[in-house]
Amino acid sequence: MSATRQDFETNFRPLQIYEQVEEKIKEEIRTGRFAAESRLPSERELAALYGVGRPAVREAIGALQNEGLVVTKRNSGTYVAPSASEFLTDGEHSGSTEETVPDFSPTGTLETRFILEPAIARRAAARGKRDRLAEQYLDEMETVIDITNPEQRALWNNSDRLFHRQLAVMTGDALLVKIADEVAKTMDQPLWKRLKDDGIYDPMRIRLYASEHRLIYESIVSGDADAAGFYVEQHIKRVRRDIAPK
C-alpha cells in the first residue's frame, strides 16, 4: 500500500531544535551515560555539549519532564527518573505506531508573538474601543494572589492566554483573530505551560505582569497606538527573559 500524503509530510517533518536535543538526551539515558537518578549537566553545559542555545535545552528538559523521564528540583538541578531507561526501552519494543504531534517551541511562539502582537495592539488602538471580555480577563489576572495554588495558576494561565487573543478581537479583523487563535493554542500546550510555570512562579512577578497587561489595554482604549505597541513589546521581552533565558 502506498503511503498517503499525510504520512509523507509527517515522516519528513523537520525536528524543532528542542526536539533534537530531547532525542540526544534520551539516547544518553538509553545508553546509561545519564544513569537513573543521576543529575544531568547544567543547562549551560548541555547547551555547550550539543551546540545549541539555552532556550532549546530548557524546552527539551521541559518536554522530558512532561514525559516523566526527568525530575527538576528547584535550586538543585534536573535528575533522571528512576525508571526512565526501562520506559524508553519498553517504548521502543511496544509495537505502538501512534504518532503524537509535538508541541511548538515556546521560544518560537514568543518570536512569532513579538512580530504579531505589537501590530495587533496598534491596530486595536486605532479603534480605541473598550472590550468587556478583555476587562474580565484583566480582572481575573489581578485577583490571583497565590500563583503556587494549582487552581489560581490555571486561572492565571487561561486568562493571560485569552487576554492576548482578545486583543486581536478588538481589531475587528477576522483574519487577525484566526491567526491569534492559532497562537493561543500554542499557549495552551503542555510544554508552554511547563516552562511558564517554572519561570513565572513569584507573586511579585505576577503582579508586575498584571500591571503590564493593564498598561497595554488602557493604551489601546485611549487610542495611543505607539504606547500600546511599545508596552506589548516590553511585556513579551520580559516573558522571554523569564521562561527562555539566553
Distance of CA 51 to the CA centre of its chain: 22
What pLDDT score was predicted for residue 99?
62
Conformational region of residue 13, where left means phi above 0, alpha means psi within -120 to 50, and beta covers everything else: beta
Interval 94-151: pLDDT, tens: 544 456 789 999 999 999 999 999 999 999 999 999 999 999 999 999 999 888 888 9
- Distance from C-alpha of 156 to C-alpha of 141, rounded to nearest angstrom: 5
Cβ–Cβ < 8 Å for 133, 44: no
- Distance from C-alpha of 169 to C-alpha of 134, rounded to nearest angstrom: 9
What pLDDT score was predicted for residue 25?
97
Interval 61-107: pLDDT, tens: 999 999 999 999 888 899 999 999 888 887 654 544 456 789 999 99
Q: What is the CATH number assigned to the segment(s) 106-243?
A: 1.20.120.530
What pLDDT score was predicted for residue 94?
52
DSSP secondary structure letters along 75-142? TTEEEE-TTHHHHHHHHHTS------PPPPPHHHHHHHHHHHHHHHHHHHHHH----HHHHHHHHHHH
Residues of the chain with CATH 1.20.120.530: 106-243
What pLDDT score was predicted for residue 205?
87
The SS3 call for residue 34 is coil
What pLDDT score was predicted for residue 97?
47
For residue 177 the three cell numbers come to 483573530
- pLDDT beyond 90 at 52: yes
- Distance from C-alpha of 108 to C-alpha of 191, rounded to nearest angstrom: 12
What pLDDT score was predicted for residue 91?
63
Q: What global pTM score does this model have?
A: 0.86
Q: Which segments within the chain are labelled E, that is strand?
A: 70-73, 77-80
Residues of the chain with CATH 1.10.10.10: 14-92
Interval 144-179: pLDDT, tens: 988 888 899 999 999 999 999 999 999 999 999 999
- Distance from C-alpha of 120 to C-alpha of 183, rounded to nearest angstrom: 13
Region 193-213 average pLDDT: 89
Q: What is the CATH number assigned to the segment(s) 14-92?
A: 1.10.10.10
Cβ–Cβ < 8 Å for 15, 23: yes
Among 190, 201, 197, residue whose Cα is nearest residue 63: 190
Query: What are the phi and psi torsion angles at 78 (to 5°)?
Result: -110, 135
- Secondary-structure percent of the chain, ordered helix, strand, coil, rounded to 5: 70, 5, 30
- pLDDT beyond 60 at 34: yes
Beta bridge mates, 39: 79
pLDDT band at 201 (very low <50, low <70, confident <90, very high): confident
